[in-house]
Amino acid sequence: MRTTSRTLRAAAVTAGAALLFVAAAATPAAAASGRSALPGSQPAWANAKALRSAAPATDTVDLRVYLPWQNASAAAQTALAVSTPGSSSYRKFLTPQAFRQKFAPSQSSVVAVQQFLRSAGFSIVDTPSNNRYVSAEGTVAQAQSAFGVTLGEYSAFGTTLRAPESAVTVPASLAGIVESVAGLDQGASLIQPTSTDGNGNSPKQNHGAPSAGFRAGQPCSLWYGEKTVAMPNAPAYGTSTKPIAPCGYTPAQVRGLYGLDQVAANGSGQTVAFVGANASPTLVQDVTKYSSLHNLPAPKITQLVAPGVYKHPDTPQQVPGDYYGEETLDAEAIHTTAPGAELLYVASANARQDFDASVNDIVDKHLASILSISYGFAGEAVPQGFINSLNNTFIEAAATGVGVFVSSGDSGDEVGSFGTPTVDFYADSPWVTAVGGSSASVVPTAAPSGLTYAAIDDPASPLNNTGWKRSFEVGWQTGLDAVNPTPTDHMSSAPYELDGTFASPLPGTFNGGGGGGVSRIFAQPAYQAAAVGAASGRLVPDISALADPNTGLLVGQTQAFSNGTYYDEYRIGGTSVAAPLTAGMAAVANQVAGAPLGFLNPRIYAAYSAGGSAFYDVDQADMFGTTVQSPLPSVLRVNYVDSESAAGGLSYSLRTQEEPNQTLHSTKGYDTATGVGTPNGAAFFAGITK
């Protein structure tokens, strides 16, 4: 789905409520006689003020009853030991079968849950091989009776969502057997992709159709600084001449940015999985055409649906076409950094309530050694069921040698949503590699001449071949300063001049940025504390990569334009780009190492502690400063008002790459804007594969 530059991970609840939740299975609270309550099972947004009506008794409820790992602390210890260099167990990953034998819930516990659900009238849908949950389907009336609650309809986040009106309870006989219940509330509808074109008010998506057409406005630069514009009446951040935003970096330019042309490995022999909502019918043909135009090998893509997902017809909330773009973006980003790897897309339900099932299927069947996730919630006040379901699956992933890479979010420090700096779930889990966002200047090693925009789709052109490098990289925290155009503007050909003035005083409004900060529900893991110093909680992100939509990735996809539906290309950003780019680089690292490396965080922080040049230190503070008076990197962006062509008019804005009003700034060493930095070519692979 083509989204705008506003927050893309829907705000789940108020920030204060995040303190109510913990990562481990909670002790059941007292409830009605003969029953035990599940703490945190009522979302904070389900409050009396937001209650609108009772949920219709005949509505379908699709749920999963989660069971905890047996000896959960030992499971976590195992996951850490096999992932930590120097440990006697390092890289001695458990097979999924061995993990189940040690830690999976017992069959008798599963049977007890199944019998409970059947006795309440539910139909059993699926129980995965690791016994993590029992998936079942019934009605609102049956759910209310089974779990001792009333389900209400609440007004939340511009829509109506179902949720329990009180804490969920289970029979006392299931206390300690049931960890949480996912699906009674419709909070999964708040999961959102973390990608953005940064275009403001994009055209409305036609429900179920291919994404609404979007193109980067012209003029745009073929590389950072290739075109500049004079702004005599709008000097800003130290100069009145600004680079015009790149059209979108090609795969060759991104590979040059991260030094991938310095290594022989290309991810061959590896499988990188990614998850998403629904399935794009044009995914394979789009990625195949993109590859042919940009000098990449033809992709090897497999698509599947995990067992037991929600299989009802399309709902008003979501239908398959709504997420064409996210799947295509993920596939093309992974293919850019790991063109030799196989791609596996695992689709979740069209109601966005099966991400946990899709992730569990990939991990427990070991369908891939690397998993990229470009979705999540804004903030940490997430119902206990979602926290437990994903975090415990991430523990199994680490124990069995699956590296999980999660986008850190696109709303910066989240102060605009929560009033205080807040990190996002899933990226806050200490068992995933949280990938933050950067803004990059990619330039040629020797400037080509005579290139036009048409060369961007010529596989023989310099734009699609080696010869690119990083000029600089800063954190992604965009500030938007709109420019009022004038009749005397000259933007049709070089030399470009924009005579307008800024619509409001500098700095402009926050327009999206990589998520980061300190978790309030997960403790800081030892591997992180040892490398960067103690903190009050898990620090996010761990590492970063290209995410700024103003210096973004060129993506090709079938889109719906006013003159027809066909393949075209556009520039896109967000940590939805950063996570799959990094997952692809992890596939290259696996190939270099000769075997899967699994969960990379202990290795990442060990390489950081060792010094050297494994990471590019993203450091705007020292390079450019952080105030309005500083020479902050910024680009002039041209947008098509109708998102398709100049026929609908043009708009102009200066986009500051790391704006001064955010609490997140890239500084020397580790920072919560960009983590340890970004991958630095061959030195990165040498550093994390030692």
CB 670 within 8 A of CB 277: no
What percent of the chain clears pLDDT 90, i.e. is strictly above it? 77
Across the chain, mean pLDDT equals 90
- Same domain for 284 and 341? yes
Q: What is the pLDDT of residues 603-634, one digit of tens each?
A: 999 999 999 999 999 999 999 998 888 999 99
Mean pLDDT of 515-543: 97
Q: Which range is least confidently modeled, 20-29, 72-81, 130-139, 466-475?
A: 20-29
Asked if residue 1 has pLDDT above 80, the reply is no
Question: Is 32 or 499 the better-scoring residue by pLDDT?
Answer: 499
Q: What is the pLDDT of residues 274-306, one digit of tens each?
A: 998 777 889 999 999 999 999 999 999 999 888
**Nearest CA among 465, 205, 493, 185 for reference residue 351:** 185
d(CA 648, CA 663): 37
By residue range, what is the domain housing residue 254? 228-593+600-688
d(CA 136, CA 144): 14
Mean pLDDT of 5-16: 32
> How many domains does the chain divide into?
2
Asked if residue 233 has pLDDT above 80, the reply is yes
Predicted local distance difference test score (pLDDT) of residue 384: 76
**Nearest CA among 555, 646, 538, 543 for reference residue 589:** 543
Compute the C-alpha angle 67/68/73, nearest 5°.
Answer: 170
Predicted local distance difference test score (pLDDT) of residue 317: 55
- Same domain for 114 and 263? no
Predicted local distance difference test score (pLDDT) of residue 533: 97
- Same domain for 53 and 185? yes
Asked whether residue 10 is assigned to any structural domain, the reply reads: no
Ramachandran quadrant class, 463 (left: phi over 0; alpha: psi -120 to 50; beta: rest): alpha
Asked if residue 681 has pLDDT above 90, the reply is yes
**Nearest CA among 422, 435, 438 for reference residue 477:** 438
Backbone angles phi, psi at 181, to 5 degrees: -130, 125
Residue recorded with tokens 């008076």:
629
Predicted local distance difference test score (pLDDT) of residue 348: 79
CB 42 within 8 A of CB 165: yes
- Same domain for 533 and 653? yes
Predicted local distance difference test score (pLDDT) of residue 311: 63
Asked whether residue 92 is assigned to any structural domain, the reply reads: yes
- Same domain for 141 and 285? no
Asked if residue 379 has pLDDT above 80, the reply is yes
- Same domain for 433 and 558? yes
Asked whether residue 9 is assigned to any structural domain, the reply reads: no
Residue recorded with tokens 């973004």:
552
Mean pLDDT of 496-519: 95
CATH number at residue 348: 3.40.50.200
d(CA 404, CA 417): 27
- Same domain for 154 and 254? no
First to last CA, the chain: 40
Collect all residues with Cβ–Cβ distance below 8 Å to 141 and sequence separation of at least 6: 57, 58
Asked if residue 7 has pLDDT above 50, the reply is no
In a 10 Å sphere around its CB, with 0-12 CB exposed, 13-18 middle and 19+ buried, how is residue 32 labelled? exposed
Mean pLDDT of 435-451: 96
Mean pLDDT of 187-200: 67
- Same domain for 314 and 390? yes
Asked whether residue 220 is assigned to any structural domain, the reply reads: no
- Same domain for 183 and 232? no
Collect all residues with Cβ–Cβ distance below 8 Å to 200 and sequence separation of at least 6: 4, 5, 639
CB 436 within 8 A of CB 574: no
- Same domain for 134 and 236? no
In sign, the C-alpha dihedral spanning 569, 574, 578, 579 is negative
How far is CA 426 from its chain centroid? 9
Q: How many C-beta atoms surround the C-beta of residue 301 within 10 A?
A: 16
Q: Tell me which DSSP letter residue 249 carries.
A: B
Collect all residues with Cβ–Cβ distance below 8 Å to 198 and sequence separation of at least 6: 4, 5, 478, 511, 512, 549, 550, 552, 573, 637, 655
- The tokens for 349 are 């339900």
Predicted local distance difference test score (pLDDT) of residue 206: 54
d(CA 654, CA 507): 10
Single residue among 140, 173, 193 that ends a domain in this structure: 193
In DSSP notation, 193-227 reads: E--B---SSPPPPPTTSSPBP----SS-BSSTTSS
- Same domain for 547 and 404? yes
Q: How confident is the model at residue 310 (pLDDT cuts 50, 70, 90)?
A: low
Q: How confident is the model at residue 354 (pLDDT cuts 50, 70, 90)?
A: confident
